[in-house]
Structure formats: C-alpha cells, structure tokens
Amino acid sequence: DKRRGLYKAINKNGIIIDCSVPGGQTRSDKIAQEAFIKEMMRNILAKAEKTVDGNAYLAMYEMTGFDLRTFVNNLEKLISFVGDREKITIEDVRNVLKRTKSDPIYELTNAISERNIEDTLFFLNSLFSSEFHYLQIFTAITNQIRKLLIVKEFVESPYGREWHAGVQYNKFRSAIMPAIQDYDSILLKQLENWESIISKNETSNKKKKGKSKKNKLNTDLLIAKNPNNPYPVFQMFSKSERFTKEELLDSIEYMSKADLRLKSTGQNPKLVMEDAIFHICRKSMGQGLGDK
C-alpha cells in the first residue's frame, strides 16, 4: 500500500521493486497476467516432475481466467489426479475440472476442508457481498462437516482398511471405491428401512386418502452419490485427514450452537459464521493438523 508509512520510508531510503501484476483488461495487462500464470505453473510442475499439454493449459486458462488462487488449486488437483503419469492432458482437464466463474459455495466448503481460515473468510465475505442468504451458506458448511465425519466413520469400519493418508488416486479408484460402494449400499438399505418405519408411524394415526405419496429418500449421507466420478470422493478422503473424528464431532456440536444463536439471539449472521469458521479451522501451534 503506497499510502503506508513503511512504503514511504523504504521508497525514500532504498529501492522498491513493483512485483504486482496488472489487473486490467488491456492487451498489455492480459499479456502480463498470462506470463505470470505460466511462470507460476512452470514452478509447480517442476517440483511435481510433471508436464502439461499445450491444449490442456489453454483449457485451464480459459476455464479460470486470471484467477491465480483457482488456477493453482486446479493445477494441484490435476497433479494428484494423474498420479505416476508424467504428462497432464486435455482429457484430464475435462475429467477433473469444471468451468470456474466458479461455484462460490464450493470454494467456501473446500477452504473449510483444508482448514484454511484466510481463504474461508475470503469466500464467506464474497458470498455475503453477492447477497447469498446466510442460511444457504450455513447449511453448506454444516453439510461439509457431516460429509467429512461420514468419511471418518467409513475409515474406522472394516470397509475402510485399505485407506491411509498418502494413498495414490489409482489405488483409491481400484481398491477403495468398490468398498465405498458396498458401504453405501448397506447404508442405503438402512435409510430405506428407517424411511419405511417413519412412513408407517406417520400414517398409523390418520386415515389414508387414496394412494399415499412416497417420500423421496435423502441420499446426502452416501459417500459416493455418483460412483462413476471417484475423484471428488478421493479429494474428500484426503481432506478428511486434516481432522480427527473428535474435532469433527466437536465442529458439528459447535455448528448446532451457532444455529441456535442465529435463530434466537438476533446476532449478525456473518459474525456468527466467522466465529464458527475460526473454531472449525483452528490449529494448535506446534501440533499436527489433527491435534488440538
């Protein structure tokens, strides 16, 4: 910030090198932006010992535009997706990435899963600025914590014995996804039984009038709602390693208390959610991701 005293002092007594990237729409601005993105991409690929097909790069850039945060996040997804394969192709981009003038709710829940307070608060502020209803945001955060907890339950079950931190995507797809589908199948049968019991209880105290309408089964508790697309499931498992089961249970309880505050105290919804985010994403200094 050129208005700050520190900037003025350095400018007076030394040399300032402007490393900012122009954010405009002129031709020269766009050239500078793309050059910066390419340099960042080269550095990340070199560390991962990967290369990227020219068409794959163009597709990535067309999807995200000059959004460094999203571009880097997408590149890291692709590196994880290709596993031991050296080259990232346009087919990989089409399989893994979605056009990002992106889903801001997804960006928020993704940042929470990574326990990244700075990014989570950034996307929370963006959602409020875009006039998203606070209950929609709150529900998305709660559902994300529930999904991470469900993954933990799977890992602790006999079905999850093949999973451990650092599992490569190819092994996950071939060895763990079938177990997830079996686990989901059993869970689905339990949900159907519960739904049947609830429906019987609801209709036992009143006369039936014609055909009773069957309630749509809630499948939000399933780990892999779309088994044909295993990569998002793999990502969810990887992110779950950032939490212990106890932390997730604590986060669910905290969100329940936050829900009560939203409904009964009239507190500012944004402040309530910021407080919840700090609680969920906090990490103790000098300890691991899963430790308190």
- Choosing from 48, 77, 100, the residue where a domain stops is 100
- Shared domain for 134 and 51, answered yes or no, is no
Residue 198 lies in a domain: no
Q: Mean pLDDT for the chain? A: 82
The most confident of the ranges 58-62, 74-78, 223-227, 248-252 is 248-252
- Choosing from 49, 72, 100, the residue where a domain stops is 100
- Shared domain for 143 and 130, answered yes or no, is yes
3-state secondary structure (DSSP) of residue 7: helix
- Whose tokens are 């339950």? That residue is 153
Q: What is the CATH number of the domain that holds 123?
A: 1.20.272.10
- Shared domain for 33 and 152, answered yes or no, is no
- Shared domain for 42 and 92, answered yes or no, is yes
- Shared domain for 156 and 43, answered yes or no, is no
Give me the number of domains the chain comprises.
2
Residue 172 lies in a domain: no
Rounded CA-CA distance 137/127 in Å is: 8
Residue 67 lies in a domain: yes
Condensed to tens digits (0 to 9), the pLDDT of residues 150-209 reads 999 999 999 999 999 989 988 999 999 999 999 999 988 887 887 777 667 666 655 555
Rounded CA-CA distance 114/106 in Å is: 12
In the predicted structure, residue 241 carries a pLDDT above the cut 60: yes
Nearest to 116 by CA among 285, 292, 242: 242
Percent of the chain with pLDDT over 70: 78
Condensed to tens digits (0 to 9), the pLDDT of residues 8-65 reads 666 666 655 444 555 555 677 778 888 888 898 999 999 999 999 888 888 888 777 7
Range of the domain at 285: 103-166+218-292
- Shared domain for 95 and 131, answered yes or no, is no
Q: Has this prediction a pTM greater than 0.75? A: no
